[in-house]
Amino acid sequence: QVQLVESGGGLVQAGGSLSVSCAASGRTFSSYAMGWFRQAPGKEREFVVGISWSGYNTDYADSVKGRFTISRDNAKNTVYLQMNSLKPVDTAVYYCAAAFAARNSVPMRPIEYTYWGQGTQVTVSS
């Protein structure tokens, strides 16, 4: 069992930066691929970025490439999402999730993720 708790969301102006983090419980955090998803009102949950449990591979949605960066610290059981050059379209509830996956695999579909956090709101004003 893994419990995930996101923190760090908030309100930021367009062009600004925000960092969110996800703290995981359990000693096997390093065995899970981690992903960030987001869901805006009236829209489906979408993949934002993921990182393999090895930390070797990452995968980004085209819409955030070059602006968002994912990282993980297995010693702290935490995964981070640094968001730069934010746009109003980035406004959403951001969820972190954990998936069983091969060492260097980065799952991209919500159904592949077993554990989910409660979400943190990120609002980008224009």
Q: Can you tell me the distance from the alpha carbon of 102 to that of 17, in angstroms, rounded to the nearest whole number?
A: 32
Concatenated DSSP letters of the chain = ---EEEE--EEEETT--EEEEEEE-STTGGGEEEEEEEE-TTS--EEEEEE-TTSS-EEE-TTTTTTEEEEEEGGGTEEEEEE-S--GGG-EEEEEEEEE--TT----SGGG--EE---EEEEEE-
* pLDDT tens-place string over residues 9-36: 999 999 999 999 999 997 688 889 999 9
Asked if residue 111 has pLDDT above 80, the reply is yes
More confident residue, 45 or 29: 45
Query: Residue 122: its pLDDT value, please?
Result: 98
Concatenated DSSP letters of 93-106 = EEEEEEEE--TT--
How is residue 60 written in tokens? 């980004």
Query: Residue 26: its pLDDT value, please?
Result: 76
Average pLDDT over residues 72-92: 96
Position 1 confidence tier, pLDDT thresholds 50, 70, 90 = confident
Query: Residue 29: its pLDDT value, please?
Result: 81
Asked if residue 38 has pLDDT above 80, the reply is yes
How is residue 52 written in tokens? 């393999």
